[in-house]
A and B are shown apart, each in its own frame.
Chain A
Amino acid sequence: MKSMLQRKVVRALIVVWTLTVLLFLYMPMMAVVMASFTKQRYFRFPVNAWDTRWYEKAFESLSVRDLFWTSFSVALLVTILSVVLAFFGALAFARYDWKGRKMYQRIILLPIFFPQAVLGLALLLWFSSLGITTSWHTAVFAHMIWILPIVTLIMSIQVYSFDPVWEEAAYDLGASRLQVLREITLPILSPGIISGAVFAFLLSWGNFPLSLFTTGADQTIPEWLYSKMVSGYTPMVPTLGSLTMGGAAGFLLIAFLIVLAVRRLRAGKPD
């Protein structure tokens, strides 16, 4: 039998280990946030003079607004398109057994494993040989190639646990196809749809290598951060970095609240 002391030591070690991992993961991000509140024009750490003027500048700047809208439009469009396509794709994968299904599933997943920079370059070559001018529209397409398989995969997990007999039962009880979709399929698959959407948005929002090659004259926030790091550093870099992170965190929070609200609504009142 273990003594009380041994147990206490083990528990303490677990706490220390957990804290170390968290520190390792989150300290760099905290450093960026702290750097964004500096008064200086140069990137220095630790920060010794604090100020919020870079945030004021960021909010006033029209080019920052452009960056934000470009990133947001790309991410939003990628999310909507991926969720719709992945929804039907996942249903097709999980529900029907057709010849070559496994093979197709693997081939469609393959782009995830390519280096994104190579994928971006390949797409750029492809776009230019087709005579398509790259802009944030083409970036949406590029992001989709990488993100759609991931979203499909996430949704498939939920769809595999979906029993089509629920749809049959609803249909048998008089529901139309549309009512079945609204009453049965969508609500039961909603956790998968929501997590798929969250992944799609965040992966697109933070994507750099694909955007770099395919946005053309438009610029997303990660691209801007990179270009400013390479030449012409301004403390706006950590500021905007912090804001993007904040945006992602805020998006996650909203998604979480939606899930919570949906769950409460369902459990609470009869429909």
Chain B
Amino acid sequence: MNEVPLGFLELRGVTKQFGEFTALEDVNLSISEGEFFTLVGPSGSGKTTLIRILVGMDSPTSGEIALRGDVINHVPANRRPTCMVFQNLALFPHKTVGQNVEFAMKIAGVATSTRRERALELLELLRLPSDFYSKRINQCSGGERQRIALARALAFDPEILFFDEPLSALDFRLRKTLEKELKDIHRETGKTFVYITHSLEEAMVMSDRIGILNHGKLIQIGSPDDIYNRPLNKFVAQFMGEVNTLAVEKAGTGKVKDSATGSMYEITENGQEFESGFMIIRPEVMKIGGAADVLPNRIQGVLFNDYALGSRIQYQVRSADGEDQWLVERLQDDPFSGNAGEPVTIGWRAEDSILVSS
């Protein structure tokens, strides 16, 4: 038989059933050493179940999990060389910051002085002043607790570090800072990080690769660029944020037809097979007003309203009958000068449409 190259962490046909309910269905995944891999999915997609199986707090109904080629399905969490940063961090409230960080080393029987030295190193790595060592957990802020939880997990020196949406409870700015910090820590430690989140945006910032999970199935695995520019289906395309979606079918070379209205649109053929499905156009590639007049794909509509999104402004345009609505985004310093209620033309280039079959 051929030698099959094994991934560092390998999932083969992992299925989990709770009674009649299938939480995970035939999940196959291979994660390489040192990778930052993120599993993204909406709530109820099975991502929490999957991470609990990966850390060893739950076991799959069928399928195999292998670490460096050894099947670890039945190795309990405390015997696995992996550990997790929990969603609510699970810092021990009765222990000081230092005692929290040192916990795994204490369990492993590391000498007190070595433990202390290592804990202080980790606090420094996570940009926490050394006087935090003797602080109590309830004296620390949300961001500081994140760092302590990460330090505690790193002190375990795990082969894989799992994250169960630890940033979800933080405010936007702090989350953005910590996302970048986490990516930096990943580079500095060179460890394998497996992260789960419901935010594809968060995943994009940090990950080498992303896996999209929905209804217990792994729908697409790819680089952030793949996921963004080459979504495999409508779900993945819409998961990133608001997009324009149109049901279409193939109508000759370089053309598709709107299944409902029969309008024709130009597309760029990229060799992918497509019979019928959806055309996805991101709001930021759409043009509005004069800029749209020269484009091959145009739609006449009425400007309904505009919304400030910070760095961009979003315009909602509705078709004359009010049935369809379209989103167009322009940079905040380049606003469109139309008024609500006025007729406008919107359009996009042939190469800006993404076609998905389902």
Contact flag A172-B94 (CB < 8 Å), given A163-B88, A270-B99 = no
Bound CA–CA A166/B137 (angstroms): 13
Is residue B90 contacting chain A, with contact meaning CB distance below 8 A?
yes
Q: What A residues does B98 contact at CB under 8 A?
A: 270
User: What mask results when residues 64 to 83 of chain B are scored 1 for a CB within 8 Å of chain A, else 0?
Assistant: 00000000000011110001
Alpha-carbon distance between A271 and B103 when the two chains are bound, in angstroms: 9
Name A188's contact: one of B55, B56, B93 (CB within 8 Å): B93
Q: What mask results when residues 34 to 54 of chain A are scored 1 for a CB within 8 Å of chain B, else 0?
A: 000000000000000000000
Q: How far is the CB of B18 from chain A (nearest CB, A)?
A: 15
CB within 8 Å of B: which of A132-182? 163, 165-166, 168-176, 179
* Size of interface on B: residues with Cβ below 8 Å to A: 32
Distance, CA A268 to CA B307, complexed state (A): 55
Chain B residues within an 8 Å CB radius of A183 = 103, 106-107
Are the C-beta atoms of A175 and B107 separated by less than 8 Å?
Answer: yes
B86 at the interface (CB under 8 A from A): yes
Flag if B94 contacts A171 (CB, 8 Å): no
In residues 8-65 of chain A, which contact B (Cβ within 8 Å)? none
Complex: A184 Cα to B104 Cα, angstroms? 13
Q: Which residues of B contact A188 (CB under 8 A)?
A: 92-94
Once the chains bind, are A174 and B108 in contact (CB under 8 Å)?
yes
B107 lies within 8 A of A172 (CB)? no
CA distance in complex: A89, B76 (Å): 26
- Bound Cα distance A176, B79 (Å): 9
Contact A165-B94, Cβ < 8 Å, known A172-B78, A173-B156, A176-B78: no
A106: Cβ under 8 A from any B Cβ:
no
Q: How far is the CB of B67 from chain A (nearest CB, A)?
A: 15
Digitize B155-174: 1 where CB-to-A-CB distance is under 8 Å, 0 elsewhere: 01000000000000000000
- Interchain CA distance A176-B116 in the complex, whole Å: 22
Beyond the given A172-B56, A173-B152, A271-B99, could you list 20 further A-B residue pairs with CB under 8 A, ordered by the A residue number? Answer: A165-B86, A168-B57, A168-B77, A169-B86, A170-B92, A171-B57, A171-B77, A171-B78, A172-B77, A173-B78, A173-B103, A174-B104, A175-B103, A176-B78, A187-B94, A188-B92, A266-B95, A267-B136, A270-B134, A271-B106
